[in-house]
């Protein structure tokens, strides 16, 4: 009795563009398109899959790949990065815009013009060593993660044979310090806002907006008045960490804050920024020094960053019993695991809740009868 074996893949040449290799996978119904380099090695170059390319598009891409101007083996790292950025498939949750800034600032001056096939481990180590010594391990890991993604993409596309970053390990990241949100701490935050209101009213409004909404500092500074919709009570964030547009609800306190901002805004602001710069036609830069002076004046830790105000907002939400899924939506977290870390700060409230439930159940009164 003969047993028929299932075919895992079927490889054929395209009848129109002979250099196009089509690999079909019957089990999944997916198709992958390849071509081969015109160089001596004749290595395969992956063009894409049926999820992102039609057969017609694959034929066109194969023709472009085989044109005289295209030589994968001679691509520079800068050219490979452009192709990587356009693909949008390898950066995961990281913002492509943020990665471009990192690449252009640090990587491109050192390796941008070098052929990607000639880049080795020592080259990558040179880039990592050139990073500012003040950067945290977490930020350094973001640079390494970006380089890994670029080289993984390049290997898949046939631009290079191996990933020189594979032997490098991520640095151990120090957990972010979360401040306990108690009445005393909140009181000092209010004093800091009052101090700023006298020294720099617009910075006071910025700090208050961060506390009331949980926005990131970069999201707040790039806001324009067109992003504020009072009738529907929401603010549209167009420049987010994930690169995706999201909406932040406007509370009653936030409405009062925005009203004060309107009163303090000059007529017809140049670009309609909520927080315009006093020196040009852009938004204001991060007022770090002013914020540090305010912290010093009211007794807050000098290590308190603008991003910590986002953590404080989240911690206050959890302490007030707001469900984690709601906190996730307010903060724009892609995963609820990002929001779960704030639960530890509500330990005292959880203990009180547990004691209240135990008291209601009254199981410890069995022996009192």
Task: Report the pLDDT value the prediction gives residue 114, as an integer from 0 to 100.
Answer: 92
Residue 4 has pLDDT above 60, yes or no: no
Residue 276 has pLDDT above 70, yes or no: yes
Q: Has 216 been annotated as catalytic? A: yes
Find the angle CA(287)-CA(288)-CA(291) to the nearest 5 degrees.
90
Residues 309 and 211: beta-carbon distance below 8 Å: yes
CB-based contacts of 273: which residues, under 8 Å, 6+ apart?
Answer: 222, 223, 224, 225, 282, 283, 284
Lowest mean pLDDT: which of 11-20, 57-66, 151-160, 338-347?
338-347
61-79 mean pLDDT: 71
Lowest mean pLDDT: which of 29-43, 120-134, 215-229, 258-272?
258-272
Residue 208 has pLDDT above 50, yes or no: yes
Q: Has 241 been annotated as catalytic? A: yes
Highest mean pLDDT among 213-217, 259-263, 266-270, 365-369: 213-217
16-34 mean pLDDT: 87
Task: Report the pLDDT value the prediction gives residue 3, as an integer from 0 to 100.
Answer: 45
Task: Report the pLDDT value the prediction gives residue 1, as an integer from 0 to 100.
Answer: 43
Task: Report the pLDDT value the prediction gives residue 361, as an integer from 0 to 100.
Answer: 63
Give the dihedral sign, CA 201/203/204/209.
Answer: positive
From 102, 310, 311, 319, the catalytic residue: 310
Residue 175 has pLDDT above 80, yes or no: no
269-292 mean pLDDT: 82
Select 183-352's CATH number: 3.40.190.80, 3.50.50.100, 3.90.550.10, 1.10.443.10. Answer: 1.10.443.10
Percentage of the chain modeled with pLDDT above 90: 32
344-360 mean pLDDT: 59
pLDDT band at 193 (very low <50, low <70, confident <90, very high): very high
Coil/strand/helix, residue 246: strand
358 or 25, which is more confident = 25
Is the CATH number of domain 73-157 1.10.10.10? Answer: no
Average pLDDT, the chain: 82
Q: Has 333 been annotated as catalytic? A: yes
Q: Has 342 been annotated as catalytic? A: yes
Helix residue ranges, H only, 167-287: 183-199, 201-213, 217-221, 252-263
From 241, 246, 260, 341, the catalytic residue: 241
The architecture CATH gives domain 10-70: 2-Layer Sandwich (3.30)
pTM, two decimals, is 0.58
Task: Report the pLDDT value the prediction gives residue 270, as an integer from 0 to 100.
Answer: 39
What does the domain layout of the chain look like in residue ranges? 10-70, 73-157, 183-352
Task: Report the pLDDT value the prediction gives residue 265, as an integer from 0 to 100.
Answer: 65
From 61, 148, 216, 319, the catalytic residue: 216
CB atoms within 10 A of CB 355: 10
């Amino acid at each position: 009795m003969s047993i028929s074996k299932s075919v895992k893949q079927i490889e054929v040449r395209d009848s129109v563009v002979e250099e196009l290799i089509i690999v079909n996978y019957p089990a999944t119904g997916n198709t992958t398109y390849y071509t081969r380099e015109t160089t001596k090695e004749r290595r395969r170059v992956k063009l894409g899959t049926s999820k992102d390319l039609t057969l017609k598009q694959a034929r066109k891409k194969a023709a472009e790949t085989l044109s005289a101007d295209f030589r994968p083996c001679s691509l520079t790292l800068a050219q490979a990065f452009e192709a990587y950025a356009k693909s949008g498939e390898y950066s995961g949750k990281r913002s492509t815009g943020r990665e471009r800034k990192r690449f252009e600032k640090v990587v491109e001056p050192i390796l941008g013009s070098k052929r990607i096939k000639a880049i080795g481990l020592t080259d990558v180590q040179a880039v990592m060593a050139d990073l500012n010594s003040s950067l945290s391990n977490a930020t350094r890991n973001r640079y390494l993660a970006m380089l890994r993604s670029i080289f993984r993409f390049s290997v898949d596309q046939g631009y290079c044979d191996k990933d020189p970053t594979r032997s490098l390990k991520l640095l151990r990241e120090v957990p972010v310090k979360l401040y306990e949100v108690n009445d005393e701490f909140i009181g000092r935050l209010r004093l800091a806002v009052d101090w700023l209101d006298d020294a720099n009213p617009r910075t006071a409004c910025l700090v208050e907006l961060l506390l009331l909404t949980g926005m990131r500092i970069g999201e707040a500074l790039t806001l324009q008045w067109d992003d504020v919709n009072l009738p529907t009570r929401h603010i549209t964030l167009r420049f987010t960490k994930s690169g995706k547009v999201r909406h932040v609800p406007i509370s009653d306190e936030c409405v009062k804050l925005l009203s004060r901002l309107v009163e303090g805004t000059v007529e017809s602001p140049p670009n309609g920024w909520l927080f315009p710069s006093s020196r040009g036609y852009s938004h204001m830069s991060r007022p770090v020094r002013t914020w540090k002076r305010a912290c010093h004046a009211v007794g807050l830790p000098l290590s308190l960053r603008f991003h910590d105000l986002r953590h404080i907002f989240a911690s206050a939400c959890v302490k007030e019993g707001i469900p984690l899924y709601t906190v996730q939506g307010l903060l724009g977290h892609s995963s609820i695991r990002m929001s779960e870390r704030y639960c530890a700060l509500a330990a005292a409230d959880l203990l009180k809740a547990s004691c209240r439930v135990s008291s209601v159940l009254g199981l410890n009164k069995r022996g009192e009868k």
